[in-house]
Structure formats: structure tokens, C-alpha cells
Structure 1
Amino acid sequence: MIVLHTESSLGWGGQENRTLNEMLGLRELGHTALIICQPGARLGARAREAGFPVFETPMRLAIDLPAILGLRRIMAHVRPDVVNTHSGRDTQLAGMAARSLMRRPCIVRTRHLALPITSRFTYSVLPDHVVAVSHHVARALASAGIPAERISTVHTGIDLTRYVAPAGGGTLRAELGLPENAPLVGTVAILRRKKGHAELLEAIPAVLARFPDTHFVFAGDGPQRANLERRIAELQLGAYVHLLGLRRDVVNVLASLDLFVLPTHQEALGTAFVEAGAMGLAAIGSRVDGVPEVIDDGKTGLLVPVHDPPTLAEAIIALLADPARRRALGEAAREKVRQRFSRLAMVAGMLDVYESLIETR
């Protein structure tokens, strides 16, 4: 099978990570995966590093005739069985390009976000089928009027072979000059307002009052960095909160932690929770959107209300105070991820969708 992905986003996040993971999984099973992206896109650079054919074309506007013609030429050359689109702009452009071909591929749109849709046309008309990354997203699409029979849920999966602690454990404590026995709580996420870093900062003083040796690490970069730095200074937390910036060694970061916390305001699924679970970490997340599909409250982690620093602090304190419970939750999270959120399971689900569409046509 030849699967051609399209992506108009220039950045890197969970959406782009899932796309590259699917491409890797398809290749492992003997299929051909390719991608069309914009010049300078980080997904294109990483796909090229991984040895995939990468085609580039500018996608300036939702209606962009040169882009449609460029996409059409690439598709006519590649002759894909499936075109899988990922963002609004590339869905519109690639969808029109694909539908203009004499030998038309099946068109799938993957919906990665837990936001209201802005164009039913790019869900109901252009694609043959829509894949949602969580049941929450699938329900939101159906409630927006997308026919339920044209929606499938395929949870985001990760390559479990990557999530193995380094020999001797993580190195963050040594890197930061922290004592070996200092509790380390952390998160891995882009520094955007909706990820809830600000609420975590507000919870930290209460945690330090109970466990004064605790340190917190934020791995990631983004538009909220300056605001977070300012609030850290206001709360006099500079000695306890460490902004690590963008890290490529996520496994090492997670292997260094005692507890993973991400009080996100909005999350289609929460790949960061999946990654934490793969490392055997108990996680604290928000009871919102698709997060409860990853975290079973009281079984693989804890769920707290959105925008509630006092309750968040209580949850962190409860798990720092009970290492045995924390380890048990982490092991249960590892098992759940192994069973439901592997890359193999994700690719199998996507292939089911692709093959069903091809057989129907």
C-alpha cells in the first residue's frame, strides 16, 4: 500500500509526532509512506532524517491554485492508494487535488484536536473518512453533524521499544546539580497557556510546604516562556523550578522523574500521558476531553479539575507521600499503554480504515 500524508503545519507537536510514528509503523510492515509538507516544516526535516521521501510545496491559503496544482502533480507521480491529511489547509488543498485525479486515491482526514471544527466541508465532503485520535474527538465530530458511520477512532500510539530507562537511570538530577534523593516532578509539553503550566506553578508553594526538597522541571518551549519566568520570579521559585527548554531526550527526562504532572485545559487525547505511562510513571492530569481515556483515575494516575491549583497540589502531595501507591499506579499505567497505545496498535487501526475504504471502492 502507498500512503501519502499531507501536513501544512510548520511546527512540531503531538500531531506531527503521530504522523511520523504512523509512517515508521507502515514502513515496518512493508508499506510505502511519503509526505508532502511546506518548505521549512519540522515534520519534513524529521521525516527526511528517518529516510522517507519528502515533497515540499507552499500552501499559503485555503484556496491556493498553485498549491493544488503542485499537490496534484505529486499525487499523479506517486499514485498513492490513500491520501491522509492532517490540518485544515492541507485537507482543503490536498482534498481538491486528489478529487481531480482520474485515478483518485481514498482520502482520509485525521482529526487531532479537541476544538470545535471550523469547516464541515473539510470533514463531510472532501474526505472519504475521518479518523479521530480519541473517542472524545469522535463524539465531538458527530455532534457537529459529521455522519457517525464516516468516523473511526484510532488512538495515538507510540513506539514502546524507545521507552526504556537508560542504564543507571535518568541524568537530570546530575545535570541540574540536585541531590539523588530529591523528589523530582515534571512535565513535557509545549509552553502554551492551555497546557496548564501556570496552574502548576500556583500549586508548587503548597507542595514545597509539605516536601521542601522537591524540584520541578518543565521540558518544552513555547510562547508562554517569558510569562512563566516572570511568575517563577514573583513566587520566588527560581531555585525549585527548572525550565529545560526543548529536549530531544524525552526518555531520559521521563526516566529521571518520580511523578508526571500536566494540568492541561484541553487535550484531544494526551500523548504526553501515554509516554509517561510507557516509562512506568504515575501521572496527574485534568479531567477533561480525551485525558480520561488514558488516565484511569485512581488506577493509573489521578485526575483533577481544570484550573484548580489547590486540588492539584493535594494530588501531588498525596502521591509524593505514598511511594508504594505511586509505583503501583505507574506499573498499571505501563500495562495499559502496552495493551492499548502502542504504535503497532495504532498502525493496525489505521490499516483497517485504509483497507476498508479501498475494498469498498
Structure 2
Amino acid sequence: MKPTLVYVVTAARSIKLLDGQLAFMAQYYDVHLIASSGEQAQDIPADIMFHALDMEREISIWKDMRAFVQMLRLIRRLRPAIINYGTPKASLLAGMASWFWRVPKRIYTLRGLRLETMTGKKRQLLLTIEKLISACSHQVLCISPSLLEKADELRLVKPEKLAIAGAGSSNGMNMTKFDAQQQASTLSPFREGAQVIGFVGRLTKDKGIDDLVQAFQLLTPDFPNAKLLLVGRLDADHGLTEQTITQIQNDPAITLLDYQPNIAPIYHWMDIFVFPTYREGFGNVAMEAAYSELPVITTNVTGAKDTIIPNKTGYLVPPKQPEAIRVAIAKLLCNPDLRREMGSAGRMRIIHDFQQETVWEAILQQYTGIKKEEQTCTKLSNPKQTS
């Protein structure tokens, strides 16, 4: 009989963060998933048991208390050997509930630190919550090297409890699926000769959109063929300046596309990818852009800086500095050979370090404490296996 492994995420839409991983782990464990109900639950493999437990993303005292009681009952019934929780609300509820029942191995997948861009009492509250979740956990599994460093700097937990699976990322990249998606027929809105600078993600202040738009304004007098492509939705609480919104709406050189269910072929429209974020856990869109052979310009901040090799697969720039972004873009626009070299090097790095199977094996090692090679050697040394 397989031991029970439980994953917990807050919203059903977060199931995409575990694409393929649940089925992989089902080879070794009886896998269960706890999340709020939603359409995405239909995509869960048939051999994974799904448990709907509605959780609010924001603080809601009475709803949170009710969800906590339900979580206590569910974990008591499932009796997992290992529980892995990620995303803030799910981690708080599942961390406390699994600590209460003394689940043998409690893993907190730290996907990012929202508190990095907060100040005052809200920052202190978020820091306290992170420390509470970490205290309930046997291990804090950070999804990037710099996120681990930041967690250690903030003293979220004792250093020996911090870990990272492989080179980072929470789930790696499904390259077979991405390659197939890139074959989709899409018509570029840009004329031949356009130099397209691209961004994919939520259009918010924390993603550095104010800085990117300002950098583009500084760039265009010297590069009249430059175009800016923004792919993503404008959050209700975006925090962007009125000047930025006006520029996006009125500048004919800026193209805004809403969220795209298949983003893969759109990377082919771009010459350069810019990811000017203020904080990340890792930065999956930068990984996708690099795999698409684009040079990546990103900021020297937690999580984002791990997505490139500086000066080899792209450029690191200081956060909140539009002029630095402009300079980096200009260098690449002036040098097509350098763009190709960086793009090729970026793709090779993603293939080497971030294939899904590579990441899953590294996570499995965190669960078992035994490397795959060691498991193979154990089987070969067992007389029953060789007779």
C-alpha cells in the first residue's frame, strides 16, 4: 500500500502550478489534492483524489475559521505521510492543521514573498504569517536560490529547514506541450522590420510596468521601428500611474493584448523579452521566453535574477530604473548577433536545468531523502530483485 501524499493550494486555478506533477507522484504515493472548487478541477488526473475546500484569498475571519475546521477534519481523515502546501491562505490553514495532527512530513513550498513590496503594519503582518507557516513546517522548499537567501535573511525559519529542489522552479517546464502549442497558427500584428519588445504577465505596479513604459518612451526617439507588446490583464488594483495608463491606451507603438490561453506562439512575435518585476518567486514567463530563444532583460530582485545568467542569456538591471532598462534594450536592438547568441544560450539552459521531469525528481528526493540513483542501487543489491 502506497503512503499518502497530500497537496494543498488555495484556488482551483492554482492547480496549473502542479501540471503533471500530481500524476508523476502518483507512481510512488496515493496522491490527494485539496483546493477551492472551480472549473480547473476538471483537469485533475483520474487517479488523483480531489477534495473541494473553499478558501478565501484575502483575510475573512469567519470563513477562514470555518475552512480551518474543515481542513482539520480532512487531514485527520486522510492521515497523510507527507503534506505539501503552497500559496498563502492554503499554507496557513494546512500548515497549522497538519502541525496539530503531527503529520510526519510537512513541506511548505514557498513560491514568493509578497511582503517584499509592502511596508509598515501590512509587511509586519505578512512576515508574522510567513514565520508561523514556516514554524509549522519541517521544511521550507524555496522555488529559487535567491528566494532561499531572502527567506534566510528574514529569518523565517532556521537555516537547516530551508531547501531548494534542483536549480529551482516549482514545477519546471513542459517542453513537449509548449513545443506543440508554439505550432499554433497566429498572425503577428507587426509589420516586417518592427523591433518588438515583449512582456507577459499581470499589468501591475509590482511587475514594473510603469518603468517599462517609461523606458520605451525614452527609447523610441532613437529606434523609430521599436514596438512594445504587453500581454496580460490590467488588475483592478494595478497601482499604475495615470500617465502609464494613458500612454498604453494612446501610443500607436504600444500593443496591448488581453490574457491569452495559449501564449506560446506569441513569443515568436518578439525580439526581446523584458521582465522588470519588483519581486518574484521564480518567474515562469522569463523561463518560457528564454526557451523561445529570446534574450531576457530582468531586474536584480528576488526570484527574477535566477531566471537568467547575466551577460550570457540576458541582462540584469536595477529595479525601478527605466533608464537602465532603456540602455539594455538599446544594446540588444543594435546587435542582432548578440540577441541570437543570448537566446540560444538561454534555451540550452532551460533544457538542461528546468525540464519538468528533472524538477519532479528533485522534489521527490526532498520527500524521500533518497536520490534516484540510490534507489536504483538499492533495488539491484536486493537478492529478490536480481534472482
From 8, 17, 21, the counterpart of 1:6: 8
How far residue 84 of structure 1 moved from its aligned partner, in angstroms, is: 0.8
Query: In angstroms, what is the RMSD of aligned CA positions?
Result: 2.8
* 1:163 aligned counterpart, secondary structure: helix
1:98 aligns with 2:110: no
Provide, for residues 275-330 of structure 1, a one-character-per-residue CA deviation record: whole Å limited to 9, x for no partner.
11111111110112232322111100011111111221121121112111101101
- The aligned residue for residue 161 of structure 2 is 150
Q: 1:93 to 1:114 in 2, by over 3 A?
A: closer
1:108 aligns with 2:107: yes
Aligned partners of 1:99 and 1:168: how far apart in 2?
Answer: 47
Aligned partners of 1:269 and 1:113: how far apart in 2?
Answer: 8
* 2:309 aligned counterpart, secondary structure: coil
From 222, 226, 229, the counterpart of 1:210: 222
1:300 aligns with 2:313: yes
Q: Percent identity?
A: 22
- The aligned residue for residue 352 of structure 2 is 339
TM-score (norm 1): 0.84
- The aligned residue for residue 80 of structure 1 is 80
From 19, 35, 38, the counterpart of 1:37: 35
Asked whether the 8 Å contact 1:133–1:269 carries over to 2, the reply is yes
Provide, for residues 195-221 of structure 1, a one-character-per-residue CA deviation record: whole Å limited to 9, x for no partner.
011111111123222221222211111
Structure 2 counterpart of 1:263, which letter?
Answer: P
- The aligned residue for residue 18 of structure 2 is 19
- The aligned residue for residue 160 of structure 1 is 175
- The aligned residue for residue 380 of structure 2 is none
From 113, 137, 143, the counterpart of 1:127: 137
How many residues align? The count is 344
Structure 1 counterpart of 2:9, which letter?
Answer: E
- The aligned residue for residue 181 of structure 1 is 193
* 1:210 aligned counterpart, secondary structure: coil
Asked whether the 8 Å contact 1:7–1:87 carries over to 2, the reply is yes
Aligned partners of 2:183 and 2:101: how far apart in 1?
Answer: 55
Asked whether the 8 Å contact 1:232–1:238 carries over to 2, the reply is no
Unaligned runs of 5+ in 2: 116-126, 371-387
Aligned partners of 2:317 and 2:260: how far apart in 1?
Answer: 27
TM-score (norm 2): 0.79
* 1:333 aligned counterpart, secondary structure: helix
Question: More deviation in 278-287 or 93-102?
Answer: 93-102
Question: More deviation in 48-57 or 213-222?
Answer: 48-57
- The aligned residue for residue 147 of structure 2 is 137
1:69 aligns with 2:69: yes
Structure 2 counterpart of 1:57, which letter?
Answer: L
Aligned partners of 1:167 and 1:141: how far apart in 2?
Answer: 36
Provide, for residues 107-154 of structure 1, a one-character-per-residue CA deviation record: whole Å limited to 9, x for no partner.
110111134533322102x11111011122212222333111111112
Structure 2 counterpart of 1:158, which letter?
Answer: M
